[in-house]
Structure 1
């Protein structure tokens, strides 16, 4: 097993790694819309929060030596399913033609009061 860490994404706030690579799979921990410097902006719009969470996810993916086309499965937690369409637009722009398996799960609340959290599985080539 190999842990992955990058300063280009928010550092873990608890006892976990940003990602762990094992047997060809990269397990990316849930990414909240926290800035890489650790600052929080809970009052940001959903679109801004979603973009930050995606940016964190992609930074970790790149730090592992993988690319967005290596994503296998993405799970997205949102505080209301009303955000689905806005997220889908940002997600499509970030991934282009690549379409990994995905679930968008409405939840009652997320840590710090954020509106979105994203976790993923990807092919790990390192």
Structure 2
């Protein structure tokens, strides 16, 4: 199957052997994003709302590189270190989907890359 690798300089470079996203047959598979700032390389983790906003901004940059936006997102997966943060994460995440939000699951995990509190991946299509 033919596919294109999508990388945005406005989102953090991968920290392992993976691409930011892969586009195949009009469907974009975006790797999990954490709250790394692409310019400074620093984590944005002063509070869960700012951390979630940065994750969403990283997703937005990758979507834009593929000519898409949040209206193209079909499904998201949210990984959280502590479900007690779910309300704040959910409110921040929801501000990016003003109508017709995508399918989603949220999973609590024991640890995430760089010990962040939230990681989000998505699937989008044109």
Q: How high is the TM-score relative to the length of structure 2?
A: 0.93
Q: Deviations over 1:39-92 (max 9, x none)?
A: 223652111111111110111011100111110010000001111111111111
Q: Distance in 2 between matches of 1:42 and 1:73?
A: 24
Matched, 1:91 2:93: yes
Matched, 1:7 2:4: no
SS of 2:96's partner is helix
* Structure 1 residues 119 and 38, CA gap change in structure 2 (3 angstroms): farther
Which residue pairs with 1:44 in the alignment?
A: 46
Q: Distance in 1 between matches of 2:51 and 2:69?
A: 21
SS of 2:121's partner is strand
Matched, 1:112 2:107: no
Runs of 4+ in 1 over 3 A off after TM superposition: none
Deviation of the 1:38 alpha carbon: 5.0
Matched, 1:70 2:72: yes
SS of 2:39's partner is coil
Q: How high is the TM-score relative to the length of structure 1?
A: 0.93
Q: Is the 8 A contact 1:29 1:119 kept in 2?
A: yes
Count of residues paired in the alignment: 124
What value does the CA root-mean-square deviation take over the aligned residues? 1.3
Q: Is the 8 A contact 1:42 1:114 kept in 2?
A: no
